[in-house]
Chain A
Amino acid sequence: MSTKENRVTEIISRCSALFEDLEFGAVKKWKAAAPGRKAIGYMPVYVPHEIVHAAGMLPVGIFGGGDQLEVIQGDAYYQSYICRIPRSTVELGLTGRLDCLDGMLFPSTCDVIRNLSGMWQIMFKNKYVRYVDVPQDYDDAVGGQFYIHEMQQIREDLGKLAGRPVTDEALRASIVVYNAHRKAIRDLYAYRAAKPWQAPTAEVYLLLRAGCVLPPEEHTRLVHDYLAACETQQRPKRDNARVVVTGPFCEQPPLGLIKSIEMSGCYIVDDEFMLAFRWLMDEVEETGDPMQALSKAFLHRSAQSSSKYDARKEDKGRFLLHQVKSRGAEGVVFAAPSFCDPALLERPMLQEILARHKIPYTAFKYAENTGQMAPIREQAGTFADSIKLWSAA
């Protein structure tokens, strides 16, 4: 039986096991618990989970193979100047690890992910595969209609796959479930920003990753449990620099990289890890037309990332500045995957905005299997020192 003191360890150990399980045992277990259950994979950054959930299916986040997967077949599909996440995802698929999925959703993250949806259709002919396009016009009558049409297509497809239509009632119920989930994640982020020594990002990240394979109701409970458990033990507070980590919205860094940033004297007080769970920034309307509600939330109250189109030039960097100011951050760490066109092309624009606001920053690149952490520690460590010793504040 667990004591209050080791409850955090217990929760994080469970999350760690789920994170390391590239055979997706939790998904298989969920499917086996009731006949006819189906699971739908989704890639970063965001897909409307509510539709999958309302169809009675488990949305499963596929965020690459991490640093433990040896990519052999996946490399044959891509040129050397392409990032690693599509390679490791192909490897996961070709080695049968994703056989537990009944379909895959590929959001409009970048050309590579879009093209992967086509490759997936060719490679896995018996699976449901859908490219999820998003609007680049944020007018309800234009982009909104387009997005509703896109979501409607997924809704009908999943209804057919489930053998029953996805009703408005089921969608509204799923919106309620995901509103609770989003609230729990917002609380988690607020807690970490207030007491980063109590909820280290290496733990928060594992907790988020558990949400890739657990049903949202269970994950919401787990987040609440973690927050409650954190308050039962006091951890030492360090004199660290408060930073926002931006860039890892798609291919995820290895856990060692997150730990290295923290070890080198930084408290991560906001980030772009697992943005899928925080993409819609507040509650989605729970009554009325659920498709309209999801569309409005996307158009008007969703996060900004390099993979999302900014309709107005003056909006560029608004989300990052908000993260810095609202979390009391003292600097920004740009951590982008190597060859990530969206992140690396946007980086100079964001850096210019930060410079204009006199917010210090540093930048480096990684791959999901980066193993050499000494340069990261060196760079993050000197950055933290420069903030602590030489900043004007």
Chain B
Amino acid sequence: MSEITIGIDIGSGAVKTVLFRGEQWLAKRVERIRRRDPLELARQGFDEVLEEAKLKEKDVSYTATTGEGENVKFATGHFYSMTTHARGGVYLNPEARAVVDIGALNGRAIYIDERGKVLSYKMTSQCASGSGQFLENIARYLGVAVEEIGTLSKTSKNPEKVSSICAVLAETDVINMVSRAIATPDILKGIHISMASRLVKLLKVTGITKGTVLLTGGLALDAGLLAALQEELVNEKISGLTAVSHPDSIHAGAIGAALWGAFRHRKLAELQSRAAA
């Protein structure tokens, strides 16, 4: 029987939890943090996926955390989020040779091989202008629900240019656009283009030239961002790359953690039996 592993990804905006039996995905949870204690949400997610899979805590062979989950007391081990997004990305899309993880606070491009091994990577700097939190702030200012952002952006006819350097400058740009009566879809599209332009730059630095780029993290399902990323790849004449998303992209980190947890469980057992022999 394959081992039961749980992956917990504590992000800046949400806690994602998944449960696996070997490579078989049995349960998942996403809980927005909304000023609550992420460590408590991690425990809650852990209990809920066990309940959904009708399993007990003692059945779990390895609980792996990622993201900001270093302080989860009941974890067996912790993996860095780049490592887990890479593995989760290959699980969700075996063709993926790069993962663009864009969460609430930052974004990163990761060049990977078919095993999910990180070959190189590049992250955004401290500035939040390429992040989900920034987009959420703008949506609030525009009076748009987060879920509507992608759809509205895709209807844009004449996107407005937004600063891609700094979140503060970008917010000032948006305030000016509103006062100039620029249509909301054009503002949102402008922001998406600005974010996509940064992400494409990150991808270029990793050295990847061809293959599938899977969008993961909290913004992976933003259809407007995906469309903008695809357009930017064309504009930058990077014809070898195809940007895609996956309905479970938000779980990529947690999936990677659970799968690497299973790998470690087997490796530790092997080391132990080798030592005993």
Interfacial residues, chain A to chain B (CB-CB below 8 A): 236, 238-240, 263-265, 378, 381-382, 384-385, 388-390, 393
Contact = CB atoms under 8 A, between A and B. Distances in A.
A385 B263 CA distance: 12
Nearest to B87: A389
Contacts of B70: 263-265
Contacts of A263: 70-71, 78
Contacts of B73: 236
25 contacts: A238-B77, A238-B78, A239-B76, A239-B264, A240-B77, A263-B71, A264-B80, A265-B70, A265-B80, A378-B80, A378-B82, A378-B123, A381-B79, A381-B80, A382-B82, A384-B80, A385-B80, A385-B83, A385-B260, A388-B79, A388-B264, A389-B83, A389-B117, A389-B260, A393-B271
Of B70, B74, B118, the most chain A CB neighbours within 10 A belong to: B70
B62 interface: yes
Interface string B243-277: 00000000000000000100110011001000000
B27 interface: no
Contacts of A384: 80
A216 B93 CA distance: 61
A238 B117 CA distance: 22
Interface string B36-73: 00000000000000000000000000100000001101
A265 B79 contact: yes
B241 interface: no
A239 B268 contact: yes
Interface of B: 62, 70-71, 73-80, 82-83, 117-118, 123, 260, 263-264, 267-268, 271
Nearest to A379: B80
A381 B74 CA distance: 19
Given A382-B83, A388-B260, A389-B264, 4 more contacts: A236-B73, A264-B70, A381-B79, A384-B80
Contacts of B76: 238-239
Given A239-B264, A388-B264, A265 B117 contact: no
- The 9 residue pairs across chains A and B that have the minimum distance between CB atoms: A239-B77, A381-B80, A385-B83, A263-B70, A265-B78, A382-B80, A239-B76, A385-B80, A385-B79
A388 B77 CA distance: 10
Contacts, number: 50
Nearest to A378: B80
A382 B80 CA distance: 6
Interface centre among A263, A378, A389, by most B CB within 10 Å?
A389
A154 B80 CA distance: 51
Interface centre among B78, B123, B263, B267 (most CB of A within 10 A): B78
Contacts of B77: 238-240, 265, 388
Nearest to B79: A385
Contacts of A385: 79-80, 83, 260
Contacts of A378: 80, 82, 123
Nearest to B76: A239
Contacts of A390: 117
B83 to A, nearest CB: 4
A264 B83 CA distance: 12
B75 A238 contact: yes
A139 to B, nearest CB: 43
Nearest to A236: B73
A236 B62 CA distance: 13
A265 B261 CA distance: 13
A381 B118 CA distance: 13
A222 B73 CA distance: 28
A189 to B, nearest CB: 22
Nearest to B106: A374
Contacts of A382: 80, 82-83, 118
A238 to B, nearest CB: 6
Nearest to B268: A239
A239 B260 CA distance: 12
B263 A389 contact: yes
B84 to A, nearest CB: 9
B270 to A, nearest CB: 10
A236 B78 CA distance: 13
Nearest to B80: A381
Contacts of A236: 73-74
A238 B123 CA distance: 28
